Chain A
Amino acid sequence: MLAHPHCPCTRASLGELAQIMAERHGKLNAYVLFMKPGGSGADWDETDLRRSAAQIPGVTVVSDLDGVEAQHFGAKTSGHAFLFGADGRLLFSGGITASRGHAGGNAGESAILAAISDGSRQSSHTMVFGCSLRRQPSKGDPVVCLN
């Protein structure tokens, strides 16, 4: 999951991630990459959100300096989750909350759980609700954060 350490909506995404991790404990390794702009202070990404993510069992928190990884994955919005199979295939890409900041069952979560169960690729794409991960959004690039 690519996340912005200050995005309020990402808390719901982390909550859903914690649910998935709990349900598929041991079958899944998760990484949450918190964007950190270059030149920012050491504490910039030391937020409550990052600490919450770090406390989820099976989750590894990593700093994404200047959002390079996000760009690599093509993630534009905080909370964007990617699921890769053991064979390296992308099984799922999208948001795991039903709405902005909404906790609870949602299509993204169901798709991940299903992919974990049968290793199938989930074709459905769910909306991501969160702040933009782009450092300098180019002109005309839509801001996904809808909150």
Chain B
Amino acid sequence: MSELSGKPARQGISAGRADELFQQHRQQIFRDTDKLFARLMLFQWVACIVIALLVSPRTWNGDASAVHVHVWAAIIIGGAITLFPVWMTRVWPGAVLTRYVIAVAQMLMSALLISLTGGRIETHFHVFGSLVILSFYRDWRVLIPATLVVALDHFLRGIYWPYSVYGVLTASPWRSIEHAGWVVFEDVFLVISCLRSISEMRFIANRTAALEASDQNSRQLFDEAPIGMAVVDLDNQRFKQVNARLTQMIGYSEEELLGQTPLNLTHPDDVVETERLVKAMLAGTERCSVEKRYTRKNGEMIWATRTACVIRDETGQPHHFLIMVEDISERKRAEAALSESKRRLETALETNQLIMDNSQDVICTIDESGRFVTVNKASEVLWGYTSAELEGHPYIEWVHPEDRLKTIEAAGNIRDTGKVVDFVNRYVRKDASIVDVLWSASWCDSKKMMFCVAHDVTERSRIEKALREAKEDADRANRAKSEFLSRMSHELRTPLNAILGFGQLLERQNPTEKQLARVHHITSAGRHLLNLINEVLDISRIEAGNLQLSVEPVSLAEVLEETLDLMRPLASDRSMELSVAPPLDAEQYVLADRQRLKQVLLNLLTNAVKYTPVGGKVTISMGASKPDTIRVVVTDTGSGIPAQKLSRLFTPFDRLGAEQSGVEGTGLGLALCQRLMQAMDGVVGVSSEVGKGSAFWIELPEAKSPLEGLPKNRSVLALEPHSLTEQKRKILYIEDNFSNLTLVEQMLAERSDIQVMTAMQGQLGLDLARKHLPDVILLDLHLPDLPGWEVLARLRRSKLTRDIPVIIISADATARQVDRLMAAGARAYLTKPLDITGLFRAIDDTLSGVNRTAQCAAA
């Protein structure tokens, strides 16, 4: 029995399925056997009646007869025994109760037959036959009620009606036991048979379940395979079965595919080859694989690997083709892209090689140990060595000994920063000549290699050296020029200081009209000379690029007001109308250097006033010619300038013949204006009409008010005007020039609140400062024993004097000098010749604690 266990290979679902199949099989057997018994019992019933009618249709009593009781027994009892179980087979086919009733009924039918035959022994075999047929149920339990009925029937009838069961009038109980024993004997074998049948059924069920599972797995593998699969009929070459992946790949539905052949879907260019392979397989080739193209339903072409094999039946006869189709379109595209990439790479490599071979620059790679890895032909030219000599050789050995250290540092930097550019070092060529090489190199960390491009810059280095030397010469010359200008400025300003200063004093001492006119000539000539010096210095600064500008938002109204204040006396002297139209807007700001803007406006207004006839009119107006700029126009009613002369208007020292008119001028004013405006990103221009006048204008970028954004209601900290206390303030003036010393003493003498001390040497000045601790020190820079800056430095170093404000008074008006002294601690910087008003303001501001930046009182 063990070999019939037929346990499914997989437990779980298969075991359950096996049980299900087993139960289905059993139930089918139960139903079939029920039907069999239904027919058998009906047949038995009919047969019983027929036999009764044939054998003993009637019973006789003399000449009288009646239907034999056997006939009635066959009809009535036989019917009673038969119809109920037959009905049950219709109502409950396969039910347990049905077959148990059948078993009982069949045994009762046996009893009836035995009885009808008068206990003939032949009819007892009906019992055995019935048991055998009952075993068709393969349910040994139905034998139990059957056996019990037989045994009970024999025992009871053997006792009470032996004639009907054994055909004798009396019967021994042993006879019933014997009959029952035979029945049990048969039952033993029938039970064994039933059990074996059940075991076989289980085996079949298990095997069927396993086959089903295997078939399902195969089907699932086919249906859900990630590649297209199909079964193709061997005869008509049509698809018999296709999986979902294939339909998805080809674009046809399963129904559409089943009517086609693989050749229908094959790309026209691959049909011939496919047909050849099919023939080869039909001729005996078991398997073949080919890369081919299919045409999708939408017309697209796909590449696929098609593998086909012949499937044979159990007799070895070819049955059908199994084809497997894998979409390799992506791979083909990738291969095409790779091929294209490879072609491009080869082209690039060839191009690179051409570049390497034909480049005039050195192109080389250097490994992390500093050895040349690859070099091009230009390298051989540069260093004089062959490629074989260069490759594998440490480059550092050919670097000029003086440049090795910086070369090693640069190589180290490349690894840190990734690249180096414009690095120049010298190499010793094979012929011992020196060559300057300019390098650009980058470090590839993944390759551990430097990629370098270099070329010979020996000639360039020579030129650069020459240029550098020339520049140094020019710088020296420029410094000499600046020194000269500074010195000239100082030397010219010093006497001018005395001329203008004493001239101003004379004007304030109530001279006669004639004296006043003469003094006026002196001061006028002095101022003209001073302007000339200042303008020359300014142009010099601009051209040297040394002009220092402080560009910031500047209130145009304020600057114009200040300028107009300065110009009004001159305009009044010439009976001219100086007006602003429309009224100035206090909210208009421009980006400019306040002093330089004022200087430009003053220049333009001065020109307008000077060159406009007496009684003329000068108007200042503001507007915007383009967005974000403000234009200021100075219009006069002068004689105008011919158009052909306008282009010369801003040329230095070209006064367009005005020198003949008697109007004073240097010819530098407009040139200086133009340069200052350019320096402030502004523009100066002019339009003029002869006989009507000229309009000079400037344009500057508009700016926002610096007060914008501040709280409007905040308290404005306004500086109170300085009011000196009644106590006299001590001022120490250190100056070696007696005239200047005297001039300042006389100027300050007008101030009763100031006491002046003087020193004509630097050391003496220092001593007086420590002794008297003055409130302010006025310091000249050119002293006989100590330079003025040294005096300033010492004052600042001493605890006693470090807090005493120092005002520098010097004829050196260069910006560099001013910046240097201010940075060294000077409170203010006044240039000679001194303006009394400017001097007093500087002193007052200093005494009142207001920090003022350097100002050049060059008026």
Contact = CB atoms under 8 A, between A and B. Distances in A.
Most chain A CB within 10 A, of B55, B58, B167, is at: B167
Contacts of B56: 8-9, 147
Contact of B62 (A102, A136, A147): A136
A146 B163 contact: yes
A100 B62 contact: no
A4 B60 contact: yes
Given A6-B65, A8-B55, A99 B167 contact: yes
A145 B118 CA distance: 12
B61 A134 contact: yes
Interface in B56-114: 56, 58-65, 68-70
Contacts of A132: 60-62
A143 interface: yes
Contact of A131 (B59, B117, B120): B59
A35 B55 CA distance: 20
A137 B61 contact: yes
A147 B59 contact: yes
Contacts of A131: 59-61
Contacts of A137: 61-62
A49 to B, nearest CB: 11
A102 B60 contact: no
A132 B70 CA distance: 16
Most chain A CB within 10 A, of B59, B117, B120, B163, is at: B59
Contacts of A143: 61
Nearest to A70: B62
Given A8-B55, A147-B70, A35 B62 contact: yes
Contacts of A7: 60
Given A8-B55, A127-B169, A147-B70, A101 B118 contact: yes
B467 interface: no
B119 interface: yes
Contact of B60 (A6, A40, A100, A127): A6
A67 interface: yes
Contacts of B69: 147
Contacts of A136: 62, 64
Interface in B131-145: none
Interface string B250-286: 0000000000000000000000000000000000000
B62 A133 contact: yes
A54 to B, nearest CB: 20
Interface string A87-100: 00000000000111
A110 B119 CA distance: 22
Contact of B163 (A8, A44, A99): A99
B123 to A, nearest CB: 12
A135 interface: yes
A6 B61 contact: no
Given A101-B118, A147-B70, A37 B63 contact: yes
Given A8-B55, A147-B118, A135 B167 contact: no
A101 B58 CA distance: 14
Nearest to A143: B61
Nearest to B54: A8
A134 B60 contact: no
B62 A99 contact: no
A100 B70 contact: no
B21 to A, nearest CB: 52
B162 to A, nearest CB: 10
A102 B59 CA distance: 17
A7 B168 CA distance: 20
Interface in A72-108: 78, 98-102
B70 A98 contact: no
Contacts of B163: 99-100, 146
A67 B62 contact: yes
B118 A134 contact: no
A15 to B, nearest CB: 14
B118 A135 contact: no
A147 B167 CA distance: 11
A53 B58 CA distance: 20
Contact of A135 (B58, B62, B68, B119): B62
Contact of B63 (A40, A101, A102, A146): A40
Given A37-B63, A100-B118, A131-B60, A147 B168 contact: no
Contacts of B118: 99-102, 147
B58 A6 contact: yes
A116 to B, nearest CB: 25
Interface in B594-628: none
Closest 8 CB pairs of A and B: A37-B63, A135-B62, A99-B167, A131-B60, A8-B56, A100-B118, A132-B61, A134-B62
15 contacts: A6-B58, A6-B60, A35-B63, A67-B62, A99-B118, A99-B168, A101-B117, A131-B60, A132-B61, A134-B62, A135-B62, A146-B163, A147-B68, A147-B69, A147-B118
Given A7-B60, A132-B62, A135-B62, 10 more contacts: A35-B63, A44-B63, A99-B167, A101-B120, A102-B120, A136-B64, A145-B59, A147-B59, A147-B68, A147-B69
